[in-house]
């Protein structure tokens, strides 16, 4: 009996080691594949530049992004204000530099919400099946039946219009796809040998999920998340258009673009530069996300 | 097949019911008293507000309101709008065709554009055409819809005066809104078609087909495209739902009275009956669309069995 | 055209011409009758339930005018009698035929005018709606009992003669006997009784018309052409009320048959008949060929020149303008100030920019909530804002600075208010120091508490958002921290009705000062009503009531001047700017558009389209 147990344990340990090595090399392979992908590298570089810009905003911004000056209202791009000023006389360039912080936050915090909540629900549903799975399934159905942006609108109506609500709303509405993908991956793993083995040797569920299941669904989660970030940024801009996003005087690209739209005839620079900023950020993350997908999970269709 | 349909329909009903409960509860969580909104900035005594609440049936317990709502809904009565006293069914009937037309037109554009770009990119894999197609697709997912829509209006309506800026009856008025709405879906589809065709092209049976001496074009059309179609159809089903509601912004900009805009306005005014009615209808359409998608699998690929 | 402009300028005291800011001030001063209705709501702009708040459901005795208040009557015989004359005055109808248009002979008949509104609305029933846009449409489907072409001048509408009891609590109207509703039924006095009784029925959920009816107690119909409308107490503003289609008579049989659906297929007596309505999209009206009872101040009283009018709803400002530029629509309202320059530079377009009477853009202090309960703090808010800069930023410098509760085109406006508070940040700082709020870093403090004020506004309105953004930055300079609470309308109404705000915005055109002071400062409106200053003062109430009940024009003016100064001394509200209503139209196509003096209603009775 004892012998058998030991043998089982040894077997599990060996399996684990093997899997660990496989996992490590999977990540290493993925990284080297990513490095060879020119688009992904370009995306990564641009993205990092934007992150650096956001971090160093107070140092590199030529003007105060919030202080207003009616005399400088609607200045054309020129020597003093490279990208012009808005109607409050605030420097567009400085607001774009500071605004990177909000746009990045909008993208990453919302996705963090959907990843965390979605993965947790998906993991539990896929691992335990039964009633939990049933409830999660209904939840996903209901959320998906709430079409698109409408769920976010209702959530914001409940929480009040501001950045925090916008991030929560976008995060929650993007959750179903994470639940589905994670649940699906967990289902296929659940009966795999090493999970079975871990269970046989009496591993606690929490440990099994964390040590054995989660690492193996990480790849699709990362890929999904990387594509979710730009989508969240675009959704944030849409909310700003509806007056439900960031509230003044915070500089945010979506808000700047939305505010600038009423000046399209009079001052093109108000909307053009924030619009371009959004596009560049979204494209860079998309390129990076595509690269990640190709590198980590080439068969994934997204 | 029939059993499968029954099963799916049986599943759809609790989903719709559950959706209605969720909508109902969430709407009641929204701060604000509908009677107060109805009165607006007018002078109103507390008694008058109370009378309006009474009129609107809002001072009954929540579960009574919900039960009443469901009971009426089952009989095809979705109540009356709190904003204009018109029957919600009538409002939705007026608006649904608008939204449906817009979503359908956008879908058509998205499919044509998306499949064309995707095929081009896949068949000319790793050439400049591939890069170009994918760049276009990338632009499509990177531009906020409202910005694109306004630029389209400025260029095609104001500058060139080719197309109307607002939605007018007829095809002409549909073009700009449909194009701006279609961009995101087109881009998503293009990427999807590309990757599924590439995947199919790599598979063995095409090599076999080629080895059998079938000409390259036939191989591609007969095998690759058909196989690549399945994920495309799934996505079309999913996208149609989001097109219906993604129309919120497009409808606002192009002054199109559709369901998306209706829901946004009604949420603002806390018009429960209208929001509930509209979301229920949208949810039902979504569920039906998905059912059609699943059914269409069987048509395209007889190997897929339902059940 | 030019001739018409001049004519209208004389008659209306304002020019309908490009780039001219129109005024009605001089005239308004000349004769103020007992109006005061159409005080549009505050706190919002046209975007919403704009509601015309009746000044006084509470009694305003006497009302404003002397019996002699016939003014602006360059139109010949058109004897205009103000409503609230102490002696019963009978006015005989006499159309004013002298007003003719330059267009005279070459008027082209037919065509369909396409007019763009900015907002959706609730119902087409003018007695139920809370939206001023509906009143714009209703002026074409319905007719008012009397017309008010210039402030205080009343001329016959559906009523040829009216008589006001000495006590101003009874009005006797004699109706024209040749008027028919669009369904062919004749207009009789029963329609008035039916309409008014229906308005006060709570089931009707009438808002604006309900307020406009004031202390209505009932209507008697001694004969088919006579209606005697009675009130439970003197109600002088009533004649002003019936000069709008808010109180237009509805056809009883049709309303009984249709119920609520009357609001989606209205039937009236006006120059245009309802044709179709797609909710939130458009309303189409067609010409009423039997119309012969047009208002006397227009150049002809017969059927309209246009075959039809389509009122389209285009919510996005940029799209509305694009539709005008591309020729899809003929005329639009709510031209965004950002686009005024674009319209002016477009040789095909003409703009009408009319300053609205009443009150402008302003901000209320909740005087019951610290720190705004301190007079010195409120005064600091007055000195601390650069209004020129604010107008530059929010409205591209197009509006005039406002220094009084009344705009400069309103009766009794006192120009000397301009000197009371000027932009003086140092003075603001001193006042705050005196109040014990001393600078600590960037924000002032008192007893360890920072000087913070919660500003509540509706985040779905770009003007409010821009105002809030500006004020936050501006007041930061004198050490006041403004906490922005941009809310959706639901949350907003709840918060400000409950008095959770320190500050909130207001916007409120009106046609009589009573519609301003009562709404802003009367204690009867202070608890959750329109007086969100929550200001209560017996002295102020007495002044407001006295002014509303004074018939002597000069005395009334003095009282309102006193009221303006009192409101400013107490620094209850900060007044920013005088708003304008801006219309734009295709000037080579749309001929003779006419905008009424209160600038809220365009009339297309006379308008024609040039091919």
pLDDT in tens, B103-132: 889 999 999 999 889 888 888 888 898 888
Residue B273 tokens read as 């009956």
pLDDT in tens, A200-247: 787 788 888 887 788 878 888 888 888 889 989 999 998 888 888 888
b/e code C487-500 from CB counts within 10 Å (16+ = b) = bbbbbbbbbbbebe
How many angstroms separate the CA of residue C480 from the nearest CA in chain A?
A: 14
Check CB contact of A62 with chain C, cutoff 8 Å.
Answer: no
Is B181 found in the same domain as B38? no
Residue C566 and residue C588 in one domain? no
Q: B93 in a domain, yes or no? A: no
Structural domains of chain B, count? 2
Of C386, C462, C487, the CB nearest to A160: C487
What tokens does B62 get? 């929540």
Strand order from edge to edge, sheet including C170-175 = C159-164, C170-175, C226-231, C216-223
In this predicted structure, what is the pLDDT of residue B11?
77
Residue C511 tokens read as 């046609």
Tell me which residue of C141, C186, C179, C180 sits closest to C276, measured CA to CA.
C141
Domain that holds residue C438: 359-577
The pair of structure tokens assigned to C554 is 């000069």
Domain ranges (residues) in chain A: 2-60+90-301
Residue C6 in any domain: the answer is: no
Q: Is the dihedral of CA C192, C194, C197, C199 positive or negative?
A: negative
Subunits with at least 3 CB pairs below 8 A relative to chain B?
Answer: A, C
Does B51 lie in the same domain as B171? no
- Beta bridge partners, C365, equal C503
pLDDT digits (tens, 9 = 90+) for B256-278: 888 888 888 888 777 888 988 88
B298 and B226 in one domain? yes
Q: Give per-residue pLDDT as tens, C17-71.
A: 333 333 333 233 333 333 333 333 333 333 333 333 333 322 222 333 322 222 2
Q: Measured between CB atoms, which of C54, C312, C493 is closest to B32? A: C493
Residues of C in contact with A247 (CB under 8 A): 459, 465, 484, 486
Task: State how far the Cα of B110 lies from the Cα of B114, in Å rounded to an integer.
Answer: 5
Looking at the structure, tell me whether residues B117 and B80 fall in a common domain. Answer: no
- Write out the E strands in C232-325: 272-278, 282-287, 308-313
Residues B258 and B126 in one domain: yes
Chain B residues with CB under 8 Å of A138 CB are: 14-15, 18
- Best of A262, A264, A270, A271 to substitute, by most chain C Cβ atoms within 10 angstroms, is A262
Number of domains into which chain C is organized: 2
Q: Closest partner residue to C339 among A247, A259, A265, by Cβ?
A: A265
Instruction: Tell me the three-class secondary structure of chain B, residue by residue.
Output: CHHHHHHHHHHHHHHHHHHHHHHHHHHHHCCCCHHHHHHCCCCCCHHHHHHHHHHHCCCCCHHHHHHHHHHHHHCCCCCECCCCCCEHHHHHHHHHHHHHHHHHHHHHHHHHHHHHHHHHHHHCCCCHHHHHHHHHHHHHHHCCHHHHHHHHHHHHHHHCCCCCCCCCCCCHHHHHHHHHHHHHHHHHHHHHHHHHHHHHHHCHHHHHHHHCCCCHHHHHHHHHHHHHHHHHHHHHHHHHHHHHHHHHHHHHHCCCCCHHHHHHHHHHCCCHHHHHHHHHHHHHHHHHHHHHHHHHHHHHCCCCCCC
Rounded-to-integer distance, Cα C504 and Cα C404, Å: 17
- Phi, psi of C53, deg, nearest 5: -95, 125
Contact A238/B199, CB-based, under 8 Å? no
Residue C301 sits in a domain whose CATH number is: 3.40.190.10
Is the pLDDT at B2 greater than 80, yes or no?
no
Q: Is residue B215 part of a domain?
A: yes
Closest partner residue to C120 (CB to CB) among B46, B51, B265 is B265
The per-residue pLDDT for C305 is 95
Q: Do C314 and B83 touch (CB under 8 A)?
A: no
CATH number, position C454: 3.10.105.10
First to last CA, chain B: 7
Tell me the pLDDT band of A256, cut-offs 50, 70 and 90.
Answer: very high
In B287-306, the residues whose Cβ lies within 8 Å of chain A are: 287
Whether residue B32 and residue C57 make contact (CB cut-off 8 A), yes or no, is no
Asked whether residue B94 is assigned to any structural domain, the reply reads no
Same domain, C133 and C244: yes
The rounded distance, in Å, linking the Cα atoms of B32 and B269 is 9
- Residues of chain A in contact with residue C388, where contact means CB-CB under 8 angstroms, are 70
Place of tokens 């509540």: C456
In a domain, C372, yes or no: yes
Does a structural domain hold residue C469? yes
> In the β-sheet with C438-440, what is the strand arrangement from edge to edge?
C438-440, C443-446, C449-450
Q: Based on the domain organization, do C297 and C381 belong to the same domain? A: no
pLDDT surpasses 90 at A139: no
CB–CB of C189/C110 below 8 Å?
Answer: no
Rounded Cα gap, residues A147 and A145, in angstroms: 5
Q: A264 contacts in B (CB within 8 Å)?
A: 150, 154
Q: Which of C339, C390, C484 sits opposite A248 (nearest CB)?
A: C484
Cβ contact B257–C328 (<8 Å): no
pLDDT tens profile C96-124: 333 334 444 588 999 999 999 988 888 99
The span from the CA of A188 to the CA of C539, in Å, is 80
- Residue A8 has what pLDDT? 59
Among B68, B88, B108, which residue terminates a domain?
A: B88
Domain boundary at B88, B115, B140, which? B88
pLDDT, residue A192, reads 74
Distance from CA of C488 to the nearest CA of B (A): 7
> Between chains, do C280 and B153 touch, taking CB under 8 Å as contact?
no
Q: Which pLDDT score, from 0 to 100, does residue A209 have? A: 80
Instruction: Quickly state the pLDDT bin for B206 (edges 50, 70, 90).
Output: low
The reply to whether residue A247 touches residue C392, judged by beta carbons under 8 angstroms, is no
Residue C455 shares a structural domain with residue C497:
yes
- Count of B–C CB contacts within 8 Å? 154
Distances (CA, A) of C296 to A217, C97, C160: 81, 7, 11
Whether the CB of C452 is below 8 Å from some CB of chain A: the reply is no
A142/B19 Cβ within 8 A: yes
In this structure, how many other beta carbons lie within 10 angstroms of the beta carbon of residue B170? 9
CA-based nearest distance C318→chain B, Å = 8
Residues (pLDDT < 50) of chain C are: 1-104
Q: Do B146 and B247 fall into the same domain?
A: yes
Question: Which residues of chain C lie closer than 8 angstroms to A71, CB-CB?
Answer: 389
Does C259 touch chain B if contact means CB atoms closer than 8 Å?
A: no
Cβ–Cβ below 8 Å for A154 and B26 = yes
Report if residue C252 sits inside a domain: yes
Q: Is residue C431 part of a domain?
A: yes
Q: According to the 3-state scheme, what is the secondary structure of B238-302? A: HHHHHHHHHHHHHHHHCCCCCHHHHHHHHHHCCCHHHHHHHHHHHHHHHHHHHHHHHHHHHHHCC
Residue C6 is predicted with a pLDDT of 33
| Residue B157 in domain | yes
User: Tell me, what CATH number does B290's domain have?
Assistant: 1.10.3720.10
B250 located within any domain: yes
Mean pLDDT of chain C: 81
> In this structure, is residue B185 part of a structural domain?
yes
Q: Containing domain of residue B264, as a range? A: 99-306
Confidence of residue A53 (pLDDT cuts 50, 70, 90): very high
CATH class of A2-60+90-301: mainly alpha
Tell me if A264 and C318 make a contact (CB, 8 A cut-off): yes
C374 in a structural domain: yes
Q: Do A242 and B27 touch (CB under 8 A)?
A: no
Measure in Å the smallest separation between the Cα of A88 and chain C Cα atoms.
5
Residue B33: inside a domain: yes
Is A145 in Cβ contact with B19 (below 8 Å)? yes
Q: Are residues B114 and B16 in the same domain?
A: no
Together in a domain, B127 and B264: yes
> Does B142 contact A160 at a Cβ distance shorter than 8 Å?
no
Judge: A161–C488 Cβ closer than 8 Å, yes or no: yes
Residues C203 and C327 in one domain: yes
Q: How far is residue C275's CA from residue C21's CA, in Å, rounded to a whole number?
A: 35
Residues C597, C476 share a domain? no
**CA of B241: which chain A residue's CA is closest?**
A147
In this complex, the residue of B94, B150, B268 whose CB is nearest that of residue C489 is B268
- Residues on chain B touching A145 (C-beta within 8 angstroms): 15-16, 19, 282-283, 286-287
Of the residues B54, B88, B122, which one is the last residue of a structural domain? B88
Q: Note whether B250 contacts A: Cβ–Cβ < 8 A.
A: no
Is A299's Cβ below 8 Å from some Cβ in B? Answer: yes
Considering only residues 21 to 50 of chain B, which have any Cβ-Cβ distance to chain A shorter than 8 Å? Answer: 22-23, 26-27, 29-31
Residue C4 lies in a domain: no
DSSP at C176: -
Do residues C135 and C237 share a domain? yes
Nearest-neighbour CA in chain C from A267: distance (Å)? 9
User: Does residue C134 form part of some domain?
Assistant: yes
């Amino acid at each position: 009996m004892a012998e058998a147990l030991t043998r089982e344990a040894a077997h599990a340990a060996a399996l684990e080691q093997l899997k660990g090595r496989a996992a490590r090399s999977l990540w290493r392979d993925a990284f080297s594949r990513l490095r060879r992908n020119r688009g992904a590298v370009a995306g990564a570089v641009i993205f990092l530049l934007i992150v650096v810009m956001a971090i160093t905003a107070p140092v590199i911004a030529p003007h105060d992004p919030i202080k207003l000056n009616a005399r400088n209202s609607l200045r054309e791009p020129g020597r003093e204000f490279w990208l012009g000023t808005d109607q409050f006389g605030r420097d567009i360039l400085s607001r774009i530099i500071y605004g990177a912080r909000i746009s990045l936050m909008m993208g990453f915090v919302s996705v963090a919400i959907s990843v965390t909540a979605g993965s947790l629900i998906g993991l539990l549903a896929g691992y335990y099946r039964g009633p939990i799975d049933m409830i999660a399934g209904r939840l996903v159905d209901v959320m998906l039946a709430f079409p698109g942006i409408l769920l976010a609108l209702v959530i914001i109506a409940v929480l009040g219009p501001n950045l925090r609500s916008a991030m929560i709303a976008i995060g929650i509405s993007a959750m179903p796809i994470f639940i589905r993908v994670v649940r699906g991956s967990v289902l296929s793993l659940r009966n795999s040998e090493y999970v079975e083995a871990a269970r046989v040797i009496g591993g606690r569920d929490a440990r099994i999920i964390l040590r054995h299941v989660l690492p193996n669904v990480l790849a699709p989660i990362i890929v999904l998340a990387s594509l979710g970030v730009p989508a969240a940024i675009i959704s944030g801009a849409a909310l700003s258009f509806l007056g439900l996003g960031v509230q003044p005087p915070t500089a945010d690209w979506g808000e700047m673009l939305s505010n600038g739209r009423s000046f399209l005839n009079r001052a093109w620079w108000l909307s053009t530069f924030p619009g371009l900023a959004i596009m560049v950020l979204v494209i860079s993350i998309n390129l990076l996300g595509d690269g990640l997908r190709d590198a980590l999970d080439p068969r994934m269709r997204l | 097949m029939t059993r499968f349909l029954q099963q799916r329909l049986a599943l759809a009903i609790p989903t719709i019911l559950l959706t209605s409960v969720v909508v109902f509860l969430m709407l009641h969580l929204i701060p604000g008293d509908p009677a107060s909104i109805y009165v607006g900035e007018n002078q109103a005594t507390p008694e008058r507000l109370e009378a309006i609440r009474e009129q609107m049936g809002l001072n009954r317990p929540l579960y009574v309101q919900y039960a009443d709502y469901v009971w009426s809904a089952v009989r095809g009565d979705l109540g009356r709008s709190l904003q204009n006293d018109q029957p919600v069914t009538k409002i939705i009937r007026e608006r649904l065709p608008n939204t449906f037309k817009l979503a359908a037109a956008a879908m058509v554009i998205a499919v044509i554009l998306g499949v064309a770009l995707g095929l081009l990119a896949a068949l000319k894999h790793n050439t400049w055409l591939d890069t170009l197609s994918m760049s276009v697709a990338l632009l499509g997912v990177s531009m906020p819809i409202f910005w694109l829509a306004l630029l389209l209006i400025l260029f095609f309506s104001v500058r060139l005066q080719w197309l109307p800026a607002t939605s007018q009856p007829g095809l002409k008025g549909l073009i700009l809104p449909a194009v701006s709405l279609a961009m995101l879906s087109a881009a998503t589809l293009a990427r999807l078609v590309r990757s599924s065709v590439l995947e199919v092209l790599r598979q063995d049976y095409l090599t076999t087909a080629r080895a059998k001496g079938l000409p390259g074009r036939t191989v591609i059309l007969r095998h690759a495209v058909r196989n690549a179609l399945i994920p495309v159809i799934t996505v079309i089903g999913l996208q149609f739902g989001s097109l219906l509601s993604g129309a919120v912004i497009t409808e606002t900009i192009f002054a199109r009275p559709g369901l998306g805009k209706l829901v946004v306005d009604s949420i603002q005014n806390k018009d429960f009956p209208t929001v509930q009615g509209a979301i229920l209808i949208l949810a039902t359409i979504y569920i039906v669309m998905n059912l059609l998608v699943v059914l269409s699998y069987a048509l395209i690929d007889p190997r897929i069995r339902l059940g | 055209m030019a001739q018409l402009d001049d004519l209208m300028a004389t008659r209306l005291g304002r020019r309908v011409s490009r780039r001219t800011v129109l005024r009605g001030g001089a005239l308004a001063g000349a004769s103020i009758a007992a109006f005061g209705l159409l005080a549009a709501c505050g706190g919002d702009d046209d975007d919403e339930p704009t509601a015309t708040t009746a000044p006084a459901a509470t009694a305003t005795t006497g009302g404003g005018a002397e019996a002699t208040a016939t003014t602006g009557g360059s139109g010949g015989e058109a004897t205009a009698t103000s409503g609230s004359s102490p002696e019963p005055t009978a006015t005989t109808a006499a159309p004013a035929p002298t007003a003719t248009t330059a267009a005279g002979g070459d008027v082209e008949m037919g065509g369909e005018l396409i007019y763009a509104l900015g907002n959706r609305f609730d119902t087409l029933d003018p007695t139920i709606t809370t939206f001023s846009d509906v009143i714009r449409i209703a002026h074409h489907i319905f007719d008012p009992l009397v017309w008010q072409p210039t402030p205080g001048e009343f001329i016959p509408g559906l009523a040829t003669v009216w008589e006001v009891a000495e006590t101003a609590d009874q009005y006797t109207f004699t109706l024209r006997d040749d008027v028919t509703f669009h369904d062919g039924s004749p207009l009789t006095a029963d329609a008035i009784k039916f309409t008014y009784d229906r308005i006060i029925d709570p089931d009707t959920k009438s808002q604006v018309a309900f307020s406009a009816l004031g202390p209505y107690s009932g209507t008697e119909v001694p004969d088919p052409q006579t209606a005697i409308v009675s009130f439970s107490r003197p109600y002088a503003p009533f004649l002003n009320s019936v000069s709008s289609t808010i109180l237009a008579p509805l056809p009883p049989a049709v309303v009984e048959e249709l119920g609520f659906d009357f609001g989606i297929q209205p039937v009236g007596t006006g120059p245009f008949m309802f044709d179709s309505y797609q909710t939130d999209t458009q309303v189409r009206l067609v010409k009423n060929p039997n119309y012969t009872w047009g208002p006397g101040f227009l150049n002809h009283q017969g059927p309209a020149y246009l075959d039809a009018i389509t009122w389209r709803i285009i919510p996005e400002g940029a799209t509305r303008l694009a539709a005008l530029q591309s020729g899809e629509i003929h005329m639009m309202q709510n031209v965004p100030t950002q686009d005024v320059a674009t319209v002016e530079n477009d040789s095909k377009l003409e703009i009408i920019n009319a300053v609205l009477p009443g009150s402008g853009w302003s901000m209320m202090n909740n005087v019951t909530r610290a720190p705004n309960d301190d007079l010195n703090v409120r005064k600091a808010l007055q000195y601390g804002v650069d209004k020129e800069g604010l107008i530059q930023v929010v409205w591209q410098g197009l509006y005039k600075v406002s220094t009084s509760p009344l705009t400069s085109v309103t009766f009794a406006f006192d120009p000397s208010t301009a000197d009371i508070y000027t932009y003086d940040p140092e003075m603001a700082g001193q006042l705050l120091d005196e109040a014990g709020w001393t600078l600590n870093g960037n924000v002032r403090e008192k007893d360890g508490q920072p000087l913070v004020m919660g500003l509540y506004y509706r985040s779905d309105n770009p003007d409010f958002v821009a105002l809030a953004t500006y004020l936050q930055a501006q007041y930061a300079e004198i050490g006041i921290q403004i906490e922005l609470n941009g809310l959706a309308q639901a949350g907003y109404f709840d918060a400000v009705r409950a008095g959770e705000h320190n500050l909130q915005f207001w916007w409120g055109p009106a046609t009589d000062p009573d519609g301003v002071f009562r709404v802003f400062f009367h204690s009867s409106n202070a608890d959750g009503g329109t007086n969100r200053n929550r200001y209560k003062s017996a002295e102020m109430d007495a002044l407001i009531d006295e002014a509303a009940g004074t018939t002597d024009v000069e005395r009334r003016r003095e009282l309102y001047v006193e009221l303006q100064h009192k409101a400013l001394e107490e620094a209850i509200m900060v007044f920013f700017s005088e708003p304008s209503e801006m219309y734009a139209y295709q000037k080579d196509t749309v001929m003779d558009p006419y905008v009424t003096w209160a600038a809220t209603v365009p009339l297309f009775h006379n308008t024609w389209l040039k091919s």
